[in-house]
Structure 1
Amino acid sequence: MPPLPTTNRRRIAGAAALALAAALSLTACGSGSGSNSNSAAAIVSKEASNSPYQGTVLSKHFDKPDLTLSDTSGQPFDLRQRTAGKTTLLFFGYTSCPDVCPTTMGDIGVAMQKLTPEERAKIDVVFVSTDPQVDTPKVLRTWLDSFDKDFIGMTGDLTQVKAAARSLGILVEDPVVNKDGTVTSSHGAQVLAFLPSDDKAHVLYLSNTSQDVFAHDLPLLAKGVPA
């Protein structure tokens, strides 16, 4: 079956769709794997004609992970507690990723700049490192600042990171040191949006989500519009 065209059609995915999309979009940044994840997700998804969102609307609403790691100032950051009651965009990745991670964070950063200050204040964008040995708080802060100085970074125990990602159907593998000394961290490349009404994930954005989709959806997310 040829890949289905990538569009901004609104879709609703069940738990099986999320798990399949997560598994198929596991990407060792720079390897090009996971390129058919959107078409695979589309095959197991159903159209949602009544959703205002252009991202993938989930029929199963995932709990925000119970995760405490170091933030970019080296202080403990309790994800649930510190983002409670705010729209939260959560992404797992690593700073030396050559493509998916910077592209995704860059697109979100540009879309965030289009919001009003009031809207921006209602959204937390959280990046959790899948390569904590390299991504120290200082390294993470410097990298995130290139996209948006308000982005939140979390780094620490990889076992906790993997468990948190797994609870969302996102796969994270141990980093691999290549012969040239570079590090490859294979990880699911989805962004999950948690709404402030219940702190659960309602909308999913796959790795090739366009900047325009984020720009369309972020004002809705800031307002906590039901998916």
Structure 2
Amino acid sequence: MPHSIRGLTRETLIRPLVQISLDLTNNDEALRTAAIAVEAGADWIEVGTPLVLAEGLHAVRALRKEFPNHPLIVDLKTMDGGYLEAEMMGDAGADAVIVMGRAHDATIDRVIEAGDRFGMLVMGDDLGTTDRVAEAVRLEKLGVGMVIHHIGYDHRNQHPELKLSPLTDLEAIVAATTVPVQAVGGLSIDQAVSCPGIGAPVVVFGAPLAIDGESFSAADGDLLGVLTDACSRVHAAPISYPA
């Protein structure tokens, strides 16, 4: 399949997609896990932030070479130096990069400029913002092609009694925007499978399903079997947007 996803819209998202998040710390493990995920039916491959920190452009180039037809998402979590960071990843073969909503407007603008030049989808992450709906609207107005509604790992684990979940505000965010929306942060398989029905059809699987969230290594158990079943369920899920 062609891997360019820059022009993705809600209208062209005719079936749900699965993104595997490689929050790992070395290329060998990332390549092995990605191969399992692709065999299981994953559509997109994410170079997770730990892998970006550990292996950088080497990870992007290695995954691009091994999986030439799969969209490659790089979770840079860019906060400054937006053009240079995005340019480096685009030149290495990335199809999408992630900029933080808490970055200055100027940084988001510069990442979008690099996205234009290299044909990349720019994804805006609302991690850490207090008004999630307003942040999603701001990110779309600035020009991002997808909004990531993200409840962070540290935030969730510091307050387990709150049972924090991206599902809480997801419906309102989808209703307030017109670009594709993705929900990330501690979802169970059942919750992840429900996301297309709430209007967020690009479903991410990472920790703890595919990645151990404490050690940032591949999860134990029958990863191929679990992911194959999860991918099948996501692909069969109906997509529903608010009227």
Give me the TM-score of the superposition, normalised by structure 1.
0.29
Ranked by relative contact order (alpha carbons within 8 Å, sequence separation 6 or more), the top structure is 1
Please state which structure has a larger fraction of its residues in strand: 1
Please state which structure has a larger fraction of its residues in helix: 2
Give me the TM-score of the superposition, normalised by structure 2.
0.28
